[in-house]
Structure 1
């Protein structure tokens, strides 16, 4: 019984998360000898303020990227 867990920074739409779950399910179904009803996919969404790469949270990186984009547009 395959179990796939995916952790994402929050911010995607319900439709995007659902589409990703469908694609993951299909990939497991294609590559593992199992029945569709045995596949489990769990998605965990982490607040962007609770996920860091290096010493910057994802929300801080978002702010930096937004500021850089604004400078380029001027």
Structure 2
């Protein structure tokens, strides 16, 4: 069973997360030949204050 774990800065809409899940699932089906029913996708949202970029938080960078 293919399992994709995705980390993203929080703030995406439900529709955006649905699109990520659908597209990642499709990519895994195409790449592995696994049945769609066996695909699992987990989105982990990370607060902007917990995401570092070049020594600063994403919040401090305005992301």
> How far off is 1:30 after superposition?
1.0
- Give 3-state SS (helix, strand or coil) of 1:11's partner: coil
Structure 2: which 5+ runs fail to align?
A: none
- The superposition leaves residues 8-38 of structure 1 with CA deviations (integer Å, 9 ceiling, x where unpaired) of 0001111101111100000111111211111
Structure with the larger RCO, 1 or 2 (CA within 8 Å, 6+ apart):
2
Q: Within 5 Å, which residues of 2 pair with 1:8-19?
A: 8-19=8-19
Please report the TM-score for the alignment, with normalisation by the length of structure 2.
0.92
Structure 1: which 5+ runs fail to align?
A: 64-74
Report the RMSD for the aligned CA atoms in angstroms: 1.1
Please report the TM-score for the alignment, with normalisation by the length of structure 1.
0.80
Aligned to 1:43: 43
